[in-house]
């Protein structure tokens, strides 16, 4: 056998060998680190999305309850029930606590607290003041003085 053909055979074997075990191990280690970081980010995003969903539902429930109190005729506020109520809207269940205080003969202070059943530590509240409009006001429709 001649020297150049032997050299060609050795070179062709090296070219066909592929990756060494060390190279494959390093590549797998880097891939696993990247995938673990991706899993951490995905978990954090899912948790943040769930938290944002719960906050949006609490705010919507609080706004709905405040709008209800704003729509109640002033003369009916004194007899309005202030017992705790558990309410379900879609897939969101919460307890509404309501406090109505007569601040004066022409003004009520209303406090609404919304407590989600899924996480009772995340409660929201709002304070409203309802005043009796003057009887000469066009806003006083059916609000007996």
How many domains are there within the chain?
Answer: 1
What percent of the chain lies above the pLDDT cut of 90?
Answer: 46
Residue 99 lies in a domain: yes
Question: Does residue 144 form part of some domain?
Answer: no
**pLDDT of 127 strictly over 90:** yes
Structure tokens of 108? 């009520």
Query: Looking at residues 54-83, what average pLDDT do you find?
Result: 89
**Total Cβ atoms within 10 A of residue 62:** 19
Residue whose structure tokens are 């409203």: 128
* 27 is a domain residue: yes
Residues 140 and 133: beta-carbon distance below 8 Å: yes
Assigned domain for 111 exists: yes
pLDDT digits (tens, 9 = 90+) for 98-121: 999 998 888 999 999 999 998 888
CB 65 within 8 A of CB 80: no
Task: Give the residue numbers spanning the domain of 122.
Answer: 20-131
Strands 85-89 and 124-131: unpaired
Between CA 98 and CA 95 the distance in angstroms is: 10
Q: What is the mean pLDDT of the chain?
A: 85
DSSP 8-state code for residue 134: P
Structure tokens at 125: 């509240």
The reply to whether 139 falls in a domain is no
**Looking at the domain assignment, is residue 50 inside a domain?**
yes
Residue with tokens 């001649």: 2
- Tens digits of residue pLDDT in 12-55: 665 566 788 999 999 999 999 999 999 999 999 998 988 888 88
DSSP 73-95: -GGGGGG---S-EEEEETTEEEE
Residue 115 covered by a domain: yes
The model's pTM: 0.64
Asked whether residue 143 is assigned to any structural domain, the reply reads no
Weakest-pLDDT range from 72-76, 81-85, 108-112: 72-76
């Amino acid at each position: 056998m001649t020297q150049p053909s032997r050299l060609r055979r050795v070179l062709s074997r090296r070219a066909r060998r592929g990756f060494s075990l060390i190279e494959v191990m390093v590549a797998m280690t880097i891939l696993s680190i990247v995938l673990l970081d991706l899993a951490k980010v995905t978990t954090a995003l899912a948790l943040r999305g769930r938290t944002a969903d719960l906050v949006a539902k609490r705010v919507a429930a609080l706004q709905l309850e405040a709008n209800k109190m704003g729509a109640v005729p002033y003369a009916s506020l004194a007899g309005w029930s202030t017992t705790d109520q558990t309410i379900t809207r879609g897939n969101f269940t919460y307890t509404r606590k309501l406090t109505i205080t007569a601040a004066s003969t022409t003004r009520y202070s209303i406090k609404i607290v919304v407590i989600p059943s899924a996480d009772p530590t995340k409660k929201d509240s709002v304070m409203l003041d309802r005043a009796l409009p003057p009887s000469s006001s066009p806003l006083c429709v059916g609000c007996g003085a």
